[in-house]
Amino acid sequence: MNLNSRSLALLTALAVAAVLTAFLALASYFSSEGLMVALVLVFICCFLLVYFSYEALVFREIKNLYSSLEKIKRQEYKKVEGRSIFTADPLRKIKDDIFLIAERKQQEIDELKHLQVMRREFLADVSHELKTPIFAAQGFIHTLLDGAMDDPAVRDKFLQKAANSLDGLDTLVQDLLSISQFETGVVKMEKQDFDAVQLMREVFEQLEQKAAARQIHLHLDVRPNEKVMLHADPNRIRQVFINLVDNAIKYGRDGGNIWASFTEGRKRYTITVKDDGAGIAEEHINRIFERFYRIEKSRSRDRGGSGLGLAISKHIVEAHRSFIAVKSELGKGTTLRFKLLKAKAA
């Protein structure tokens, strides 16, 4: 017999009614009609009582639990209900637990799906970025092999172009390596005390020619002999300074200006790099730190950008427990700033 709440109630009611009627039959003052009525009444009451208790309190709850389990099996985590009509504690606890597990599994699945999409996009971006310099170098070398080698002027020009493409490829691979190291968390900051003014001066010297080529003026806003002693990883911070100043040159206007300044706080210095270049439209501002994100793809590529500079800078600054803030207005310029801890002695 298939055991459900109705058949269980039927059996229980029959048993109770039979026992009760047997007892009543022993008491001689009940007529046979009376016994019949008692039997029917006890049976009906008992049946209704037991049926509704089983149905409402046990079977419906268990049915709910099983349907939740079924949905978990089918991985339909979102459809698992957390609501319970039953207030008895053990069953509610089981149901709550199932609901919790389902919720956690759903989160894990959403996260994995998101990671999968990101990985796919990253692979597509990487292959696209690698293709450009490889194809360029390949083209120059094949043209040389096909006869261009005989003309010394063409040969030198093409060899130089192939070398430039391979240099770009090298930078790209280094940047990719840095990004992947930061993302797997294997990069350790080698913190020490150093003078950030001196570091910025060196970066300005390194990029002086690039700025001069577009008549861009570099300004170091510090007092004579001023030192800004920081406690951070100088090599990594140099990389951030280079990325910010290099971007300010690349996306600055011809004949424009770039200012670097340091503002002292209680525990930290704020480092600011500002330009009066093209600026960034509001819809792009929050995205410029994403890997491979470029606003004007063709223009940025012409100027040698891989779209990884700011992503790496963000990682470096975050590894110093800080963040980079950006403020920009189209046509007016861009300001990037971040804070770093002062040197202990300072």
Of 42 and 203, nearer to ligand ADP (C-beta) is 203
- Applying CB under 6 A, among 51, 306, 324, 342 the residue interacting with ligand ADP is 306
Rounded Cα gap, residues 301 and 76, in angstroms: 45
Instruction: Write down the least CB distance from residue 170 to ligand ADP, Å.
Output: 15
As a whole number of Å, the CA-based R_g of the chain is 38
Residues between 262 and 301 with contacts to ligand ADP, criterion CB under 6 A = 275, 277-278, 280, 288, 293-295, 300
Secondary structure of residue 233 in the 3-state scheme: coil
Question: Which tokens hold the place of 149?
Answer: 């080698």
Our finding on whether 334 is near ligand ADP (CB under 6 A) is: yes
Instruction: Write down the least CB distance from residue 215 to ligand ADP, Å.
Output: 17
Our finding on whether 102 is near ligand ADP (CB under 6 A) is: no
Instruction: Write down the least CB distance from residue 335 to ligand ADP, Å.
Output: 9
Of 107 and 215, nearer to ligand ADP (C-beta) is 215
For the chain, how are helix, strand and coil distributed in percent, rounded to 5? Answer: 60, 15, 25
Number of residues engaging ligand ADP in binding (CB under 6 A):
22
- Please write down the long-range contacts of 17-22, taking CB distance under 8 Å and 24 or more positions apart: 17/42, 17/43, 17/46
Select from 135, 339, 319 the least CA-distant residue to 236: 319
Helices (H), 146-233: 152-184, 196-212
Burial class (CB in 10 A: 0-12, 13-18, 19+), 29: exposed
Of 50 and 312, nearer to ligand ADP (C-beta) is 312
Our finding on whether 307 is near ligand ADP (CB under 6 A) is: yes
Distances (CA, A) of 137 to 126, 144, 163, 166, 292: 17, 11, 7, 7, 22
Of 36 and 213, nearer to ligand ADP (C-beta) is 213
Rounded Cα gap, residues 241 and 220, in angstroms: 12
Sign of CA dihedral 34, 40, 46, 49: negative
Question: Which tokens hold the place of 323?
Answer: 């963040």
Of 39 and 216, nearer to ligand ADP (C-beta) is 216
Instruction: Write down the least CB distance from residue 291 to ligand ADP, Å.
Output: 8
Secondary structure of residue 288 in the 3-state scheme: coil
Which span (66-74, 159-167, 178-186, 241-249) binds ligand ADP, by CB under 6 A?
Answer: 241-249
Our finding on whether 129 is near ligand ADP (CB under 6 A) is: no
Residues between 16 and 75 with contacts to ligand ADP, criterion CB under 6 A = none
Instruction: Write down the least CB distance from residue 244 to ligand ADP, Å.
Output: 7
- Applying CB under 6 A, among 207, 305, 338, 340 the residue interacting with ligand ADP is 305
Our finding on whether 327 is near ligand ADP (CB under 6 A) is: no
Our finding on whether 247 is near ligand ADP (CB under 6 A) is: yes
Q: Which residues bind ligand ADP (CB under 6 A)?
A: 243, 247-248, 250-251, 275, 277-278, 280, 288, 293-295, 300, 305-311, 334
